[in-house]
Structures are given as structure tokens and as C-alpha cells.
A and B are shown apart, each in its own frame.
Chain A
């Protein structure tokens, strides 16, 4: 029995990490006008954020086609997969999961779907955990249960240099009404129930980062910590340093926000998060 894991490019896993864990990453697309580029394939984060300031029109994003998922699933079946667990970014933010479902129609092996209700490494960390469970011999149901449980325990906070991109992308749910447009106020956002919700506003980026850290440090006990950045490696390094101080026992994962999430957050986006430790609701099968 071989259970394989599929996710999408918004998980912000590096190619090496995905390869190591045997995870297939299906890319979303970023569109500059009518030019469509596959996230992480045709355009890297580095290239994207270099290009973004020079664009007059806002790039947009597109979910992978059902066909792209079908091809990915079929390739895994050819390699011997007997079941597939497909974990994706919040279905409340993107139709990616729906595309994946359509792509799985008529396949010869079962595909289980998990809505992470997360984005970026909030998705990526759960995918890694699912992959470890699969490598440890868990059934597809167990793997899906592990992933679902990790996502339940995942808390992601984000701050931005500017609200412009998130506003234009229309992906913020609550809290917009008090963020304003006249002053460049830094929002503090949380991924809640799969939606991007504003939960605070702060005048300066530095204080906003402190706020993310405070919110993370209020969550105990901790299994993993993680942080991502778009264009500010110094800020990531600072968070890394502080996170290791806050939760020295917890492995820390860092990553770079890819083009698709970058379209919605813009340059200067920084995220930090925590996966709290397994609790009484966690499934019995957990990889160690």
C-alpha cells in the first residue's frame, strides 16, 4: 500500500523539501495581463517580486485546472500509488480544492481531500506532517486525519507593508472597515476558519512584527513554529531568532512566500505561526 501526498504551490514548500517527503506540488498560476505563469515553475518568488513593482496593472491569480490535477494524480498512480491524500489552501479563498476534486473524477484509486483552511506554510507544515505519516505506513484515512488535525492546531498571523494588494485582491473578510486607506497602517491578519481576517492594526512594521510574535507566544504548548517572508529576509531572520527563543523545543520552519500568495500580500508580507502540540482530540496515529 502506497499513500501519496499532493498539495498546491501555495504551501510554499521548497522543491527539495517536497522531493524529500515525496510530495507532489501542483502549481497555481499568476497572470500578468494575459501572460499566465505557473507558480514556482515559470516564475520564482525572486523573479516575481522583482517584477511586481514594475507592473502597472495588478497581476491576478488562477487556480490549477482540473486537468492539471488529473495529470498529477495519474502520474502517482503510474508510480504505484494505491491512495492519494490531496491537501490544499483554504477553499474559502480559492477554488483550488474544487479543481482538485474535479480532477480526481474517474481515477482508479481513492483520493481523499483535506481543506487546510490555511495558506502558505500554515498549509505546508501540515502537508509535511501528512507526508511523514504516509512514509511511516499510515493508511490514507489516517494520513488525512493527521493532516486535518495539524491544520486544526495551526495558527497563522500575517502583517503587510501595505494593504493595497490585499484590498485589490478582495481576499479579506472581517475587519476591513477600520483599517483605512489614507494612512499606511500595518494590518495584523489571522487566518481564521479559512478566511483572512484583520484582527489589529499598528502604525509601524517593527511593532507589527512584535505583535505577531506576542500572539504566537501566547499559544502553548508548541509543536512547531514557522515563519515566511516575501521580500524581507532580515525580518524573517529576526522572527526566526525570536521564535527559537520563545519555543526552543519546537522545530522551526521558514519559507518564502511564492508568487500567488505574493499577489495578494505584496512585497513586505511577513507571516508567523504556531502549530500547538497534539491534544486529546488528536488522532491516535501520529508520526514521530
Chain B
């Protein structure tokens, strides 16, 4: 194993070259999942071409790391392609600025470079969006920083960055709804992780794996991806004397531009903008200096071309079974989304309609879709939806979100429809739901007398316990729900749950039911501070 305390310019160059190879090997996979900001399937290509442009500036051998990175940074600025490419060029620039003047880099220098790269990239984007390549690099840089603080060397620090980068990629659908809807991770973020992985191998002196990275959800259904009014992707370089980047950025925003990036230095600026009409963008640019390398692409045409290509999947196929679920709260939306569901938000005043169910089911883009209404008052709308789309929708009558979660966990997109439905139904039947709230009036329900303001617990919809405090009702309700052999209790914290509840509740449940696994997660549901699934 290669061990060293510092890396030379030549080693950095090796790392860049290996990253190029690794990015090239994974380009198609990255292209295939490109849905944000525009689903046109070119993120992998743009990142690769930008990376190659940066490398073209590199000499055959590079004794000085700082000088090498400075040269790459400038070349990347000039050669950047597309939204992701421009952001990538800013990452290289941040790396270069952090290592300026340094002939070689130690672990601290590498961490500073990664943090600088992240910061510069964020600064380049007027309205940074999380769940993108920005997030992935930031998470990776912070993991590297943490590893450095623990006293690790270059190899481990970089390894930590790579591991976190891929973990962060996996989290992008939770942050960016469009990714979640399409069932993919962020393509630019994946590109960043791939680059870091390639660099880590290069720094470690290891060869590239023969096998390319397998990509989540490589078969994206574009029917499920919104793509209204893309207009033209317009890019150009401005050479000038003292270009005011901020002013130009504001002008482009005023002109109605989207995905605006204006990066570089006062003498050289790279502009990237999506506009319905590219003309005004060029006019705005020429007021700041001489234009060069103007590139205008019709994104709608690009998207359509890509979408056509996607009709004939090569080795990937879209799994046949989809899932649509009502999510009563942000937390449930995330949880259900992670299980592969297209979620419909719902609150007490506006229950999901049959039409919404049908639309969501179509958006899932599958041969057949399971519906989880997750509420007895929504069940009828779901059944109506199934009647409107016969043979396409199967309703699994989940009457609580906890039961719906159990079914969603058992959901699998590949497989025999009847078998998957049976597994989901079985999982749903195996969970008992405890809902904890406060009574809104005096009443006698299910034989129990409650006063307004009492804490109450419902077991599968039936009132089974009352108490002074919510937690008392929770434990009483759970006491009735937990059959012998119960393995796990999942606590979904409602929007009104006290902030410090998670740890305390878990401890109380473990004390009352030793041997039972307890997991506490955010459900975000209204009205019920605690919902429990017991199975």
C-alpha cells in the first residue's frame, strides 16, 4: 500500500487522469439519470468534457501542484460545458485557489482544497439548491475535514470524502423532489462522487476497477419528469477588463434567465444561462466585453432526442410495479419516498382526490401501481381511482400511515404483481397502529370516558387508553398493542411532538418492553404527536 504524508504535483496529475478515466467509464450511467435542472441526459458528458478541458492544460509532468491546479482551473473555466460543467470548473478553481503557490500538498492542504472547492461552487450559484453536486461536494469535504481532525493521513482523508460523497448522493432524492419523483439520485452529484473516487484511486496508486458504478434507477421514465419551457441553453466566454459578474448575473435574471452561472475573474468570465430567447443574453454579455466560444443549444430538442433514445432501453428496464402513497406530513413523504413511492401530500382539510391518485399513478410510469391511502377517509377516493383506471391500479386499504409504511417497506418494484401485493398486504396486517393525541371534547368513546384535553391512545382506530400526559397514553396504548413476539416498534413523531421527545420516548419504550427494537423517526403528521407501528 502506498503511504505518504504529502502528494506532489505529479501525483495530483495522476489523480486527475484516473478521475478522467473513471468519469468516462461512468458517463453513460450519469447521463441516464440526468433529470435536474433539465432532463436532457448530458450531465456526464458535460462533466467529462470539462474535466478533459482542464487536463489539456496540464503538462506531461507537473512538479508543482499549485501551478498545475492553477493551469487546470483556467482551462476548465474556458472549456466548461453545461450547468454541471461550469459548477465543476468552479470546484477546480476553489481547489486551485486553496493550493496556490504550494508545490505539494499534505492532508490539511487537501482538505482545504476540498472545502475551498465546495465554497467556490456555492458562491458561483445565485440560488444554490440542495440535493445537487453542491451538496455532495460539501458533504464530502466536511467528511474529509472530520477525518483530518481525527488525525488521519491523506489516503484515509480522501477515502472518507469518497465514502461520504456516495452516501450524500444516495440522500439527494430526499432533498430534491424532482429526483424523488423520477426515482433517481442526482446526476451531477454522482459525477462529483465518481471524480472523487477516481482521484482517491489515483492518489493511492491503485488501478481503476474494471466494473463501472451501478447507478440507481438507471431507467428513468421521462413521462414522470416535468420539462416545461426549457428554451435554449446559452453559454459564452467574455474577455474584458473589469467585468462585473454580479451585475451581469442580475441582468440575466431580470431577462428571465434560469440556471444562471456567471463565473471567472474580472478579465475572463464564463456565462451559462437557460433562456427562452438567447438573443438578449448575448446582448447583455457583449456590453461587458468581447464574446467568445458562444454555444446555443435547443434544450427542448435535446430533451426530446434523449427521450426518444430512452424508449429503447439497452440493458436497463423500468420495473413493472409502482407505488403511490398518501403522506400525512413531510417526514412520511420522505420515508415513503425512500421506499420508492410517489407521494401525495394531504392535510385534514383537503383529502386526496381520485383524480390526484390517478395522476400520481400515471406519473409513477409503471405497468401497474399500488395505492396506499393511509387513512380511512381517503380510502374511498383511492377505490374510485382504481375504478377509473381498471387493471392499472390496485388499492391496498391501509387505514393508517403506520400500516401504509409497513406495506411500503414490503413493496418491491420488480416481481410478480400478485406476490408483491400479497407481501404488502401481509406486512400491513402484521402491524398494529397506536395513535396518540388529545381529546378535543368530553365524550365516552369505546366505553372509555374522556374529558377535553385528556391524552388518549387509539389502537387500530379504537380508543383504548386515556392518561394525563401524552407519553402515559402512548405507553398504555403500546401495552395493549404489543403482542408476544412483537419485534419492533416504530415511533413516528408528529408535527406537534416536543423537540426532545425522540430519545426519551425510545428509552421509555425500551424500559417497558425489553428486547423489542425501537426506532423513532420524523413523521410530521398533524393532530397526532405520536403514531406507533408495532409489528
Cβ–Cβ < 8 Å partners of A170 in chain B: 166, 213
Question: Is the C-beta of B214 less than 8 angstroms from some C-beta in chain A?
Answer: yes
Question: Is the C-beta of A185 less than 8 angstroms from some C-beta in chain B?
Answer: yes
Pick the interface stretch among A12-20, A91-99, A134-142, A271-279. A91-99
Closest to A97 in B: B210
Question: Is the C-beta of A47 less than 8 angstroms from some C-beta in chain B?
Answer: no
Is A57 a contact of B152 with CB atoms below 8 Å? yes
Question: Is the C-beta of B488 less than 8 angstroms from some C-beta in chain A?
Answer: yes
Is A57 a contact of B153 with CB atoms below 8 Å? no
Once the chains are docked, how many angstroms separate the CA of A206 from the CA of B185? 30
**Contact with A34, one of B3, B340, B410, B414 (Cβ below 8 angstroms):** B3
Is B163 a contact of A34 with CB atoms below 8 Å? no
Question: Is the C-beta of A173 less than 8 angstroms from some C-beta in chain B?
Answer: yes
Once the chains are docked, how many angstroms separate the CA of A177 from the CA of B412? 11
Cβ–Cβ < 8 Å partners of B338 in chain A: 178-183
Q: Which residue among A183, A199, A205, A206 has the maximum number of chain B CB atoms within 10 Å of its CB?
A: A183
**Contact with B183, one of A174, A177, A182, A207 (Cβ below 8 angstroms):** A177
Given contact pairs A57-B156, A170-B213, A199-B412, A181 touches B166 in the complex (Cβ within 8 A): no
Is A33 a contact of B535 with CB atoms below 8 Å? no
Binary contact readout A158-180 vs B (1 if CB under 8 angstroms, 0 otherwise): 00000000011010111111111
Question: Is the C-beta of B517 less than 8 angstroms from some C-beta in chain A?
Answer: yes
Question: Is the C-beta of A56 less than 8 angstroms from some C-beta in chain B?
Answer: yes
Is A31 a contact of B1 with CB atoms below 8 Å? yes
Question: Is the C-beta of A77 less than 8 angstroms from some C-beta in chain B?
Answer: no
Cβ–Cβ < 8 Å partners of B183 in chain A: 177
How many residues of chain A get a CB closer than 8 Å to chain B's CBs?
Answer: 41
Question: Is the C-beta of A203 less than 8 angstroms from some C-beta in chain B?
Answer: yes
Once the chains are docked, how many angstroms separate the CA of A207 from the CA of B414? 20
Question: Is the C-beta of A60 less than 8 angstroms from some C-beta in chain B?
Answer: yes
**Contact with B487, one of A173, A181, A206 (Cβ below 8 angstroms):** A206
Once the chains are docked, how many angstroms separate the CA of A183 from the CA of B520? 9
Question: Is the C-beta of B209 less than 8 angstroms from some C-beta in chain A?
Answer: yes
Question: Is the C-beta of B222 less than 8 angstroms from some C-beta in chain A?
Answer: no
Once the chains are docked, how many angstroms separate the CA of A195 from the CA of B209? 14
Question: Is the C-beta of B160 less than 8 angstroms from some C-beta in chain A?
Answer: yes
Question: Is the C-beta of A202 less than 8 angstroms from some C-beta in chain B?
Answer: yes
Once the chains are docked, how many angstroms separate the CA of A175 from the CA of B207? 27
A9 CB, min distance to chain B CBs, angstroms: 17
**Contact with B488, one of A56, A62, A204 (Cβ below 8 angstroms):** A204
Pick the interface stretch among B167-175, B359-367, B385-393. B167-175
Closest to A35 in B: B1
Question: Is the C-beta of A152 less than 8 angstroms from some C-beta in chain B?
Answer: no
Is B521 a contact of A34 with CB atoms below 8 Å? no
Is A202 a contact of B409 with CB atoms below 8 Å? yes
Is B339 a contact of A57 with CB atoms below 8 Å? no
Is B170 a contact of A204 with CB atoms below 8 Å? no
**Contact with A178, one of B214, B340, B517 (Cβ below 8 angstroms):** B340
A99 CB, min distance to chain B CBs, angstroms: 10
Question: Is the C-beta of B224 less than 8 angstroms from some C-beta in chain A?
Answer: no
Given contact pairs A168-B163, A182-B335, A176 touches B412 in the complex (Cβ within 8 A): no
Is B152 a contact of A95 with CB atoms below 8 Å? no
Cβ–Cβ < 8 Å partners of B185 in chain A: 177
Question: Is the C-beta of A200 less than 8 angstroms from some C-beta in chain B?
Answer: yes
Is A182 a contact of B210 with CB atoms below 8 Å? no
Is B1 a contact of A177 with CB atoms below 8 Å? no
Question: Is the C-beta of A108 less than 8 angstroms from some C-beta in chain B?
Answer: no
Question: Is the C-beta of B413 less than 8 angstroms from some C-beta in chain A?
Answer: yes
A264 CB, min distance to chain B CBs, angstroms: 12
A216 CB, min distance to chain B CBs, angstroms: 17
Is B167 a contact of A168 with CB atoms below 8 Å? yes
Binary contact readout B157-190 vs A (1 if CB under 8 angstroms, 0 otherwise): 0011001001100110110000000011100000
Question: Is the C-beta of B326 less than 8 angstroms from some C-beta in chain A?
Answer: no
Is A178 a contact of B411 with CB atoms below 8 Å? yes
Given contact pairs A180-B335, A182-B335, A201-B412, A91 touches B210 in the complex (Cβ within 8 A): yes
Interface residues on B, range: 35 or more
Closest to B197 in A: A170
Once the chains are docked, how many angstroms separate the CA of A202 from the CA of B427? 9
Give the total number of A-B pairs whose CB atoms are below 8 A apart: 104
Cβ–Cβ < 8 Å partners of B217 in chain A: 177
Given contact pairs A34-B155, A201-B412, A203-B535, A62 touches B170 in the complex (Cβ within 8 A): no
Cβ–Cβ < 8 Å partners of A36 in chain B: 1
Question: Is the C-beta of B147 less than 8 angstroms from some C-beta in chain A?
Answer: yes
Closest to B338 in A: A180
Cβ–Cβ < 8 Å partners of B147 in chain A: 57
Question: Is the C-beta of B334 less than 8 angstroms from some C-beta in chain A?
Answer: yes
Closest to A176 in B: B216
Closest to A207 in B: B487
Cβ–Cβ < 8 Å partners of B43 in chain A: none
Is A174 a contact of B152 with CB atoms below 8 Å? no
Once the chains are docked, how many angstroms separate the CA of A43 from the CA of B367? 50
**Contact with B184, one of A56, A57, A177, A205 (Cβ below 8 angstroms):** A177
Cβ–Cβ < 8 Å partners of B3 in chain A: 34
Question: Is the C-beta of A184 less than 8 angstroms from some C-beta in chain B?
Answer: yes
Question: Is the C-beta of A58 less than 8 angstroms from some C-beta in chain B?
Answer: yes
> Which A residues from 113 to 167 make CB contacts under 8 A with B?
167
Closest to A196 in B: B214
Once the chains are docked, how many angstroms separate the CA of A195 from the CA of B213? 11
Once the chains are docked, how many angstroms separate the CA of A36 from the CA of B490? 40
Is A201 a contact of B409 with CB atoms below 8 Å? yes
B393 CB, min distance to chain A CBs, angstroms: 19
Binary contact readout B388-424 vs A (1 if CB under 8 angstroms, 0 otherwise): 0000000000000000011001111110000000000
Once the chains are docked, how many angstroms separate the CA of A178 from the CA of B217? 9
Instruction: Provide a sorted-by-A list of 28 A–B residue pairs whose CB atoms are within 8 angstroms.
Output: A33-B152, A34-B3, A34-B153, A34-B156, A56-B150, A57-B159, A58-B160, A58-B163, A60-B159, A91-B210, A95-B207, A167-B167, A167-B170, A170-B213, A177-B217, A178-B338, A178-B411, A178-B413, A180-B338, A181-B171, A181-B338, A182-B335, A182-B521, A185-B339, A199-B414, A200-B412, A203-B490, A204-B487
Interface positions of B (Cβ within 8 A of A): 1, 3, 147, 150, 152-153, 155-156, 159-160, 163, 166-167, 170-171, 173-174, 183-185, 207, 209-211, 213-214, 216-217, 334-335, 338-340, 405-406, 409-414, 427, 487-488, 490, 517, 519, 521, 535
Given contacts A179-B338, A203-B490, 19 further A-B contacts (CB under 8 A): A33-B156, A57-B160, A58-B159, A58-B163, A91-B210, A95-B207, A95-B209, A167-B166, A167-B167, A168-B163, A170-B166, A177-B173, A177-B340, A178-B338, A178-B411, A183-B519, A185-B339, A201-B339, A203-B410
